[in-house]
Amino acid sequence: MINHPLECWLNLRMDRPLNSGSVSPEELQAWQFGLLRKTISHAVKSSPFYSKQLQGVVPDEILSPADLNKLPVTTPEDLRKNPNSFLCVSQDEVARAITLSSSGSSGTPKRLFFTSGDLERTTEFFQYGMGPLVGEGETVLALLPDSRPGGVGNLFAESISRLGAKTVYPEDPSDIPTILNLLLNSRASCLLGPAIHIHALARLWKSKRLPKNQVRSALLCWDLLPPVAIETISNTFGCEIFSHWGMTETCLGGAVECFQGSGMHLREPDFYLEIADPETGLPVPDGTSGEILFTTLSRRAMPLIRYKTGDLGQIISGPCTCGLSMRRLGDVKGRLDTDILLPTSEYLSMAELNEIILQYVGVLDFKVNYQQQSLALNIALDIAPESKIPTDLSRALTSYPKLSRTVLENNLKINIIIDNNDGSISSGFGKRLITSS
């Protein structure tokens, strides 16, 4: 017998009795592919983009993962070019449209549409997924994009209120000192937000010698989860850490952990997720890392079929010890094409710099710009009030093997400056990347 609320939700969605226990992987997949065929039919019938893109596809021939290669992929570029051509319902039925400005160089924003039913399914996922983290009468401090009334981030508050708990939001997610006051005043016991924000909050919390016993759980989402930041958060608050994967294209919710370090259980009733080799586009076996692609299974306004997320991850093989039937996503380590190529022909990632730079107590966040022509790595630190640039940070960077080689062989210059020193940080809700100029 499984007690996790997400298993009840899966049974509800599959029209199975609530006490019928686990769903077998075969049963789950067969049910998902039934929904996937319906999604193809709905998209071909109602979306100008898919009626063209999926011309000649026979939905009844898509029976298992091996058949997915008969379906072309959908790229973020397709979405940018003509978002309206994806729309499958009338404008009257669109409850929410979100414009996503691009963090990359292409500039054109993406636009996504959701019906009230699409939004409700996300609220349900949050409600059942957050059940083990939040008790009745408790408060969640949430750092979410679009948390205005009616905004997509607000779906989270709705799900929390269904659990008998409440949500508080900061007005400015970069203003960490104000967020710290909100955390103290609200007595919130659960934190939700990007790892870098919660990490900065933990650093300030510790600098004020505040107690360990207030926060009992933190759900980290929207970007990389640097191990060094997770350790700081966990040690500072003495709390359990849960990871979440999702993006606006998944209507925020995508996958959530059952306990720390277990991998994130997928939102199987609403998405079929696959992992593809970034070079060949072919599916890779469970346990192998590749690009995450998903197909929506219940989306009415704007179904997405084999959407290329650009995120890299892997499906963890085998069942979870918690007994949940949903597959698990593990090891979401970064995004395609975001590492920089050093003149020594080695790639440098934000994940590597996180581990070097975030280990210093006074460092809350940082930005990195790589100047290819003049060969300089410019690091702008956000530090805690009354902190300084850590004395041995420069040495730590130049002794990191890849950087050490580039300094010696190519005379790379590493410049470190202070950006913010009032406790605020520069990161927003976008992915933190090394920029190039």
Under the binding rule (CB under 5 A), the answer on residue 324 touching Zn ion is yes
Minimum Å distance from CB 391 to Zn ion?
43
Under the binding rule (CB under 5 A), the answer on residue 258 touching Zn ion is yes
Under the binding rule (CB under 5 A), the answer on residue 10 touching Zn ion is no
* Whole-angstrom distance, CA of residue 301 vs CA of residue 216: 37
Chain centre to alpha carbon of residue 318 = 23
> Segment contacting Zn ion (CB under 5 A): 17-25, 236-244, 318-326, 382-390?
318-326
The site for Zn ion, by CB under 5 A, has a size of: 5
Site map for Zn ion, 260-299, x if CB under 5 A? --x-------------------------------------
Residue 370, CB-side half-sphere exposure with 13 Å CA sphere:
19
**DSSP string spanning 348-396?**
E-HHHHHHHHTTSTTEEEEEEEEETTTTEEEEEEEE-TT----TTHHHH
> Segment contacting Zn ion (CB under 5 A): 220-228, 229-237, 313-321, 421-429?
313-321
Segment 128-167, which members bind Zn ion (CB under 5 A)?
Answer: none
Tell which one of 160, 176, 218, 320 touches Zn ion (CB under 5 A).
320
Minimum Å distance from CB 188 to Zn ion?
25
Cα torsion angle, 411, 433, 336, 360, sign: positive
> Segment contacting Zn ion (CB under 5 A): 81-89, 245-253, 320-328, 366-374?
320-328
Under the binding rule (CB under 5 A), the answer on residue 329 touching Zn ion is no
Closest CA to 94 of 79, 113, 118, 122: 113
- Whichever of 320 and 342 has its CB closer to Zn ion, that residue is 320
Minimum Å distance from CB 226 to Zn ion?
23
Tell which one of 322, 356, 361, 389 touches Zn ion (CB under 5 A).
322
Residue 16's φ and ψ, nearest 5 degrees, are -100, 155
SS3 content of the chain, % helix, strand, coil (to 5): 35, 25, 45
What residues does 243 pair with on adjacent strands? 220
> Segment contacting Zn ion (CB under 5 A): 137-145, 169-177, 254-262, 276-284?
254-262
Residue 166's φ and ψ, nearest 5 degrees, are -130, 160
- Whichever of 103 and 262 has its CB closer to Zn ion, that residue is 262
* Torsion (CA) 42, 48, 52, 57 in degrees, nearest 10: 0
Under the binding rule (CB under 5 A), the answer on residue 234 touching Zn ion is no
Contact residues for Zn ion, defined by CB under 5 A? 258, 262, 320, 322, 324
